Structure 1
Amino acid sequence: MSDKNDRAVGKAAATTPAGHSQPGEIDRFLGAAKRLAPFASGQAGRLVFALDATMSRQPSWDLACSLQGRMFEVAGQSGGLAVQLVYFRGLGECRASGWIGEPERLKGLMSRIACEGGQTQIARVLRHVRDEAKAVPLRAFVFVGDAMEEDVDALAALAGELGLRGIRGFVFQEGFDPAASAAFATIARLTGGAHARFDVGAPASLLELLRGAAAYAAGGREAMLRLAGASPAVKGLIAAMDGERK
């Protein structure tokens, strides 16, 4: 990619079909966003924000795009937030942005990415989180998806590594696919995080889940507790995390 911090995850990304957002276009925007929106790395919590961008996900991608700014708002009370977008789509494309400290920059990037058909690549996302944590302090990641088409044992092994490093996974599921439910719950359990479902037709459900994860990334459990009194969804995340530790 155009900047060493804006890159394909794992193996090289596949060529994007004509008529869809092109990797070069995304690269140029990522580079511009990095130059225009620096943040003080020592002052902000960090959250990897990973999304399934395969074709079935377009409605919830658009929803996440519209809501992502609220993550920054809630995290501002705990020292701020820097977000790294990770997404997969198409024939083996899995990419990570640089660290972004302003919601409008992240929204601009997300608006340039079109969902495309393909298989899930959750293992690549988990490996990326593991590798990123070797370079920067990282407390949590979010994954938003609706399907799982991979080896659950391999995902469990990677999730276990993240749990040992103290990196909590907040895994938010659209729909009720049973294979996804089982895998997502396993990832959450092994990382000490939380798995929750949301309804794309009820935006507030995903919003509260993202706010809870952002609060944890910025300020840990104490920041989540400050939200819990006014948010049953955040209270549910805390209960799930406590339950996984028993």
Structure 2
Amino acid sequence: MSDRNITTRSSSQAIDRFIKQADKTPVVARREGRLIFALDATASRQPTWDTACQLQSELFLATRDLGGLAIQLVYYRGFKEFHASPWLTQTERLLKEMNRVTCLGGHTQIARVLKQAIRETREQAVKAVILVGDCCEEKADDLCQLAGELGMLRTPVFAFQEGHDIDAQRVFQQIAQLSGGAYVPFDHRSPAVLKDLLGAVAVYATGGKQALEDFQARHGGEVKRLTRQLK
């Protein structure tokens, strides 16, 4: 038998072994950056909810070059009504979920939002939580305890407050600080600001702080204020 035949047979055997080994190797699915999008849907929130519906696509558009993004829509309204959607990866599905909602009067349920974030991130890391609201009717100490737990889990809360309620401002700032996130106020009459803020957090959830800094360089303004607060 010639050396050429021996070499050919050895190469063929090596290829067969490689194929068999590859068949046994598990395929690791790519995991999207996970983000909880939590909104106050009590009675006073309808104008901002409508604005958020118009801007929700920014969450996906801002991250299209960074990899996948999975969003869970969370909201509270009415008498102890609290909802958390499945994890969504398409803007059409998120918009469909949001369009079903009509705001109803009721008390805030921020504690339930934070508990939902803790529960989800213990199953699989949640990279960021967006909390949009205008007031807080809960005990600050209880919320700060939950925010601290999220900080330990490295799940930052980005608290975006509409309006000028001083008590809510203090609580939102503490939630952001204890969780390792950021606090930024906004006015629903300036949707461009909220658009940039949503995009910034989506970018952070998908690409981390470096991606956020690149995003900030293109947008500045309130995005810069947000970035400066991150630990």
Please confirm whether the aligned pair reaches a TM-score higher than 0.5, indicating the same fold: yes
Equivalent residue runs for 1:1-246 within 5 Å: 42-232=30-220, 233-241=222-230, 245=231
Percent identity over the alignment is 46
In structure 1, distance between residues paired with 2:66 and 2:125: 16
Aligned-partner Cα distance in 2 for 1:235–1:79: 23
Across the aligned residues of Structure 1 and Structure 2, the Cα RMSD in angstroms comes to 1.2
> The residue matched to 1:78 in structure 2 has which SS?
coil
Q: Distance in 1 between matches of 2:116 and 2:97?
A: 19
Q: What is the CA–CA distance in structure 2 between the aligned matches of 1:238 and 1:53, rounded to whole Å?
A: 27
Q: Distance in 2 between matches of 1:73 and 1:56?
A: 28
Structure 2 Cα separation of the partners of residues 78 and 236 of structure 1:
22
Q: Which residue type is aligned with residue 236 of structure 1?
A: R
The CA distance in 2 between the partners of 1:111 and 1:95, in whole Å, is 14
Q: TM-score, normalised by structure 1?
A: 0.81
Distance in structure 2 (CA, Å) of the matches to 1:216 and 1:112: 28
What CA distance in whole angstroms lies between the structure 2 residues aligned with 1:165 and 1:134?
A: 8
Alpha-carbon distance change, 41 to 82 in structure 1, aligned in 2, over 3 angstroms: farther
1:14 match: none
Name the SS for the 2:170 alignment partner. Answer: helix
| Secondary structure of residue in 2 paired with 1:82 | strand
228-237 or 170-179, which moves further after superposition?
A: 228-237
Task: Provide the rounded CA distance (Å) in 1 between the counterparts of 2:132 and 2:188.
Answer: 11
Structure 2: gaps of 5 or more residues:
1-27
Q: How much does 1:99 deviate? A: 0.3
Cα distance in 2 between the residues matched to 1:109 and 1:127: 21
Amino acid in structure 1 at the alignment position of 2:224: K
Secondary structure (helix, strand or coil) at the match of 2:104 reads coil
| Structure 1, gaps ≥5 residues long | 1-39
Deviation, 1:78, is 1.4
CA shift, 1:230, in A, is 1.6
Using the TM superposition, give the Cα deviation of residue 239 of structure 1 relative to its aligned residue in structure 2, in angstroms: 0.6
Task: Report the CA distance between 1:139 and its aligned residue.
Answer: 1.2
What is the distance in 2 between the residues matched to 1:96 and 1:42? 23
Size of the alignment, in residue pairs?
Answer: 203
Distance 1:41 1:177 in 2: 44
The CA distance in 1 between the partners of 2:77 and 2:48, in whole Å, is 14
Aligned-pair distance for 1:109?
1.0
